[in-house]
Structure 1
């Protein structure tokens, strides 16, 4: 299990490296050409390729990572399958009419592969005679529902999908990840995830991050008319997520917890 734990940690570090790459690229483009009104607006700048690559890679990493609890794993997966769609369907912007054909091609390709992966997971579950936990069922149902909505939307109305799917995918990237933070608090582990005992060393810090998220969203609601309000809330939430990821990585660097993970098959 040593190799598996090492790989797990490398994937965690890779996620931080990806976020840092996006920050550097966006910062360099801002210094050259000025601020965009949102992070998604950088899709149309020189930082666009990095924006797309980072979101795609982040999605893969989040799905590949196994959460310490089933509830956390569900949230990581839902956030992971949403993140690439944020990149594949750019936010509508003045002077940049959506390339509907490209959006349909990219989104359909992603949804087809997602369906294949879903079937593989189901087959593997049946072959192992493994009954999903209640949270596992929630994950399977939520993923299927998201796929059905996405596929039906794109097939029935290309134009509407190209115009609005970006915002919806963004919400369902952020919300489940916020759930991950809550699920790592003492209360989240014991009550929501229904684990027998808490495991975190940073309960107060995690709650402070949750509070920070609420404050960021509340401030955005108050100043949403400001041209750069969306950029501010996105940057604030990403910074808080990165802080959480660093703290959780340190939290998980525990030999006793490693042994527990090995014993649990995780």
Structure 2
């Protein structure tokens, strides 16, 4: 049995796009890790968090990687409407984490290895642009289904859980806009931390949601949940040790576990799906040179 060459080519293009997008996100994480490692080798010590590298010569890499990762999460379609909305929210928050720096005391700022003076007007201008584009995205998400343009394009159409997630996202967006315009100082002081916290929570939700979609088939799915459990256990141990003063740079370690865990999940997600539910075999394509189909009159003859 042969397949339509156009359909087969389209399937192959989708698979390659999925692979390249996943690979691109992994390379972005490696780029950020490389910049941090070089800073560590140059100055001989780690900073308290990954976010603190916003103030170092790795500034441009930090912002570029987070913005690119955010764009990839928004572009990448989730397996369900709920997962898609969650990825979109996480991607949006990645921009805020990139543009709103973590708080840093003046006493901790070393001019030889850091940018000690980031104008608040610059930060506010970048955040305003992100909020504006985020508002446009929300407007499209709400209006497209009403206008009949979202069916088959926006994955939340017809998905009750996705609609609930979208409403929650809209409420969160309105709250962010309100705080940004009504209490700018609080937004700039706390925006990074809360955005990063919700971003990490969203990534964990995506991982859990993917695990639930594996169903009960496939004995090897145990490793999927085991990996998540180990990551959460490690985060709990690091948090406990850090709060008790038994671990230095514990926030850096905590963030690294989340980033590394999501990267591991992103790389191995397709493998887990294949183990749990093998895809139905596709019709084989001819191995030899193909010829254009004969016109109907010749076939009937």
Higher helix share: 1
Please classify the TM superposition score into its range, dividing by the shorter chain length.
Answer: 0.7 to 0.9
Deviation readout 1:131-169 (Å, 9 max, x if unpaired): 431122023212211211110011011111111000000
**Displacement of 1:255 after TM fit?**
8.2
Distance change (3 Å), C-alpha of 1:52 and 1:201: farther
Task: Tell me which moved more, 13-22 or 243-252.
Answer: 243-252
Deviation readout 1:162-195 (Å, 9 max, x if unpaired): 110000000111001111111122xx227xxxxx
1:43 and 1:52 in contact (8 A); partners too = yes
**In the alignment, what sits opposite 1:183?**
209
Q: Name the TM-score, length of structure 2 as normaliser.
A: 0.76
Distance change (3 Å), C-alpha of 1:175 and 1:200: farther
Could you tell me how far apart the structure 2 residues matched to 1:258 and 1:82 are?
A: 39
1:89 and 1:165 in contact (8 A); partners too = yes
**In the alignment, what sits opposite 2:58?**
47
Could you tell me how far apart the structure 2 residues matched to 1:110 and 1:201 are?
A: 43
Distance change (3 Å), C-alpha of 1:199 and 1:83: farther
Could you tell me how far apart the structure 2 residues matched to 1:61 and 1:76 are?
A: 9
Asked if residue 137 in structure 1 is aligned to residue 163 in structure 2, the reply is yes
Distance change (3 Å), C-alpha of 1:108 and 1:58: same
**In the alignment, what sits opposite 1:206?**
224
Instruction: Write the mapping of 1:237-256 to structure 2, written as runs, cut at 5 A.
Output: 237-251=258-272, 256=279
Asked if residue 217 in structure 1 is aligned to residue 243 in structure 2, the reply is no
Unaligned stretches of 5+ residues in structure 2: 1-9, 107-115, 152-156, 283-301
1:104 to 124, 141, 149: 124
2:89 to 78, 90, 94: 78
CA RMSD of superposed structures (Å): 2.3
Task: Tell me which moved more, 216-225 or 49-58.
Answer: 216-225
Aligned positions, number: 251
**In the alignment, what sits opposite 1:6?**
16
**In the alignment, what sits opposite 1:263?**
none
Instruction: Write the mapping of 1:141-160 to structure 2, written as runs, cut at 5 A.
Output: 141-160=167-186
1:26 to 36, 47, 61: 36
Query: Which has the larger Rg?
Result: 2
**In the alignment, what sits opposite 1:117?**
137
Asked if residue 38 in structure 1 is aligned to residue 49 in structure 2, the reply is yes
